[in-house]
Amino acid sequence: MMRLFRYLTSYKWPITAILVLVFVQSLSDLYLPTLMADIVDVGIVHGDTFFIWKVGGFMLLVAAGGGLCAIGASYFSSKVAMSFGRELRAKVFNQVEHYSLQEIDQIGTASLITRTTNDINQVQQVLIMILRIMVAAPMMCIGGIIMASSKDAKLTLVLAVVVPILALAIFLIARKGMPLFKAMQKKLDKLNLVVREGLTGIRVIRSFNRIDLEKRRFNEANSDLTQTAINVNRIMAALMPIMMLTFNLSAVAILWFGGIRVSNMDLQVGDLMAFIQYATQIMFSLVMLSMIFVMVPRASASAIRINEVLDLHSTIYDRSEPVTQTKTTTPGTVEFQDVTFSYPGAEHPALTSITFTARPGQTTAIIGGTGSGKSTILNLVERFYDVTSGAIRVDGLDIRDLPLEQLRAKIGYVPQKVLLFSGSIADNIRFGKEDATDAEIEHAAIIAQAGDFIASMKGGYEAHISQGGTNVSGGQKQRLSIARAIVRQPAIYMFDDSFSALDFKTDALLRAALKEEVEKNQSTLIIVAQRVSTVMDADQIIVLDEGSIAGMGTHQELMQNCEVYQEIVRSQLTEEEIA
């Protein structure tokens, strides 16, 4: 948490202002009992009404001054806390935007979202509390001790006994309570997990008749949480009474010893009354501090999660000095040279010794079983991950020597999992090319076979897509995602199993239109697919099996010499179709 607060250094002036204002305000609060003591010891003792009015008026001024300082402090502290939150949020967001998929996989999307939103809010909330309370409390405490000892140094000995006792009590309770608070949070998370799983898996649970089992799981989590919550609250139940009792007993002690000193003419009664109020303030500030200790652990868990994000740096970044290389191939060529790639921590590489070249104006298709590494190949071209060994070249240049922006600008990519953004259909297609004209968007939509269904939608190209594209069907989403890639007019197209949700008719039409477009622009086309019918007329088919190339060539060639390919074909087509 302290590490995050380092960022506060840029706010040193407003923070100084807060400190000064809070200090003045504490002083004014402490000054009031002193003035009251004057009223008692001078005004009442001598029956001087005018004096009482005069001091009273002054007290009002002091109170007003203190109030103004408090408002000023509130102004600066809200500004500091909120801009701290703003900067931190921007920093974390920016950091994540630079992550490669590897880092995203490592932390997880859902967790990253929580860290950027809730966790930062949590820390910001605590900062507000700290600026409001934690700053004021020590000042109040120190100020109170100074004022008290100026009234009567010997009587301050009572405080010297009581304050440590109180501090110890708070410490002991906090030490007992804090781990329980943490445990409670964990158990709450566990309970939420059980409920969430129960909801998402409701069909499976019912069809497998596991309702009783799920109820038991819930009951275990619930009882566990309840027991901890009761324990926590019972421990915390002791906190307030103990503190109150210490307060009150110390007041009694002050009254007793103070009374003796009054009888010896060492102290006046008004001062004694003021003294009791100082003591109250000192101890109250300790209680305030103790509240912070309850809040901090909650936020520190958040702070740890935020720091994890800030500490994790993308392994993929631009080379600091651009490497100049002479281009040797026609633009759009993608070459894999002996590429091997392992996901971090994996036992076996996902890809082993992959070598091939995808040429402009040609279609390169990649086919293979689940987990054979098809998508990984595309992810490597996009440089979402870096190769473990070997090299990938685009336009004859090693992609690690190209700025990421330049590399990705060449590619029109359609991911396996379709992702649309909230906004109009036109917005979504324009995502691929910011300055695309309406005509370009329409052209892209028509090639992607999306023209008809867009026209049939209310509002046409301006029809709204809800977040995640939940208001269009899977096939429609896929076609929009394809249009988004087409509108870029890229040198390289990459389709990751992007026709799976289309029926065969649309699939065929789309591929025919796409072929025309690709030939016209002499683009490179790389298609990952599972259907043989999608790949069989490609110029080059790469058959992957468990991360290695099992065969490469045209459909006819592979039918002759590649056993894996033959097996795939047999699994999908009938005898007469193969022939």
Partner 1 sequence: MSEPRGGKQAPKGGGHMGGPMGMVIPGAKAKDFKGTLKRLIGYFRPHRIQLIIVFLAAVLSTIFAIVSPKLMGKATTSLFSGMIGLMQGQPKEIVFDFGYIANILLLLIVLYVISALFSYLQQYVMAGVSQKIVYDMREQVNEKLYRLPLKYFDSKMHGDILSRVTNDIDNISNTLQQSLTQLITSIVTIIGVIIMMLTISPLLTLILILTLPLSAIATKQIASKSQKHFIGQQSSLGELNGHVEEMFTGHQVVKAFGYEKKSQQTFDQINAKLYEAGWRAQFISGIIMPVMSFIGNIGYVLVCIVGGILATNGSIEIGDIQAFIQYTRQFTMPIAQTANIANLIQSTIASAERVFEVLDEEEEVPESTQPVTIAAPKGKVEFQHVKFGYKEGHLLMQDINLVVKPGQKIAIVGPTGAGKTTMINLLMRFYELNGGAILIDDVDITCMKRSELRSLFGMVLQDTWLFNGTIHDNLAYAQPETSDIDIIRAAKAARADHFIRTLPEGYKTVLNEEASNISQGQKQLLTIARAILADPTILILDEATSSVDTRTEVHIQEAMNELMKGRTSFVIAHRLSTIRNADLILVMNKGTIIEQGTHDELMEQEGFYADLYNSQFAESTSAG
Residues of span 171-190 touching partner 1 by CB under 8 A: 188
Quick check: 255 binds partner 1 (CB under 8 A)? yes
Nearer to partner 1 by C-beta: 16 or 192?
192
Quick check: 13 binds partner 1 (CB under 8 A)? no
Quick check: 460 binds partner 1 (CB under 8 A)? no
Residues 360-389 that bind partner 1 (CB under 8 A): 368-372, 382, 384
Residues 356, 385: contact at Cβ < 8 Å? no
Which position among 151, 187, 443, 484 is part of the footprint of partner 1 (CB under 8 A)?
Answer: 484
Quick check: 33 binds partner 1 (CB under 8 A)? yes
Which residue type is seen at 2?
A: M
Q: How far is the CB of 279 from partner 1 (least distance, A)?
A: 8
Which position among 198, 297, 460, 553 is part of the footprint of partner 1 (CB under 8 A)?
Answer: 198
- What is the C-alpha separation between 270 and 33, in angstroms, rounded? 9
Which position among 132, 187, 359, 477 is part of the footprint of partner 1 (CB under 8 A)?
Answer: 132
Residues 310-339 that bind partner 1 (CB under 8 A): none
- What is the C-alpha separation between 164 and 294, in angstroms, rounded? 19
- What is the C-alpha separation between 420 and 32, in angstroms, rounded? 64
Q: Which of these ranges, 149-157, 324-332, 345-353, 449-457, lies near partner 1 under the rule CB under 8 A?
A: 345-353
Which position among 17, 73, 402, 525 is part of the footprint of partner 1 (CB under 8 A)?
Answer: 73
Q: How far is the CB of 418 from partner 1 (least distance, A)?
A: 9
- What is the C-alpha separation between 5 and 377, in angstroms, rounded? 42
Quick check: 291 binds partner 1 (CB under 8 A)? yes
Nearer to partner 1 by C-beta: 451 or 475?
475
Nearer to partner 1 by C-beta: 38 or 338?
38
Which position among 19, 138, 284, 553 is part of the footprint of partner 1 (CB under 8 A)?
Answer: 284
Quick check: 142 binds partner 1 (CB under 8 A)? no
**Total number of residues that touch partner 1 (CB under 8 A):** 193
Residues 519-558 that bind partner 1 (CB under 8 A): 530-534, 536-537, 555
Which pair of tokens denotes residue 475? 């096939």
Residues 79-108 that bind partner 1 (CB under 8 A): 79, 81-83, 85-86, 89-90, 93-94, 96-101, 104-105, 108
The secondary structure of 374-431 as a DSSP string is HHHHHHHHTTSS--SEEEEEETTEEGGGS-HHHHHHTEEEE-SS----SEEHHHHHHT
Q: How far is the CB of 370 from partner 1 (least distance, A)?
A: 3
Which position among 405, 435, 439, 520 is part of the footprint of partner 1 (CB under 8 A)?
Answer: 405
Q: Which of these ranges, 42-50, 152-160, 354-362, 387-395, lies near partner 1 under the rule CB under 8 A?
A: 42-50
Nearer to partner 1 by C-beta: 397 or 564?
564
- What is the C-alpha separation between 363 and 369, in angstroms, rounded? 20
Residues 447, 528: contact at Cβ < 8 Å? no
Which position among 176, 186, 210, 298 is part of the footprint of partner 1 (CB under 8 A)?
Answer: 210
Residues 132, 308: contact at Cβ < 8 Å? no
Angle at 210 between CA 206 and CA 215, to 5 degrees: 105
Phi/psi class of residue 402: alpha, beta or left (left: φ > 0; alpha: ψ in -120 to 50)? beta
Quick check: 159 binds partner 1 (CB under 8 A)? no
Q: Which of these ranges, 151-159, 328-336, 435-443, 560-568, lies near partner 1 under the rule CB under 8 A?
A: 560-568
The secondary structure of 191-235 as a DSSP string is HHHHHHHHHHTHHHHHHTT-HHHHHHHHHHHHHHHHHHHHHHHHH
Which position among 211, 304, 323, 455 is part of the footprint of partner 1 (CB under 8 A)?
Answer: 211
Give the chain's length: 579
Phi, psi of 21 (to 5 degrees): -60, -45
- What is the C-alpha separation between 289 and 293, in angstroms, rounded? 7
DSSP state of 137: H
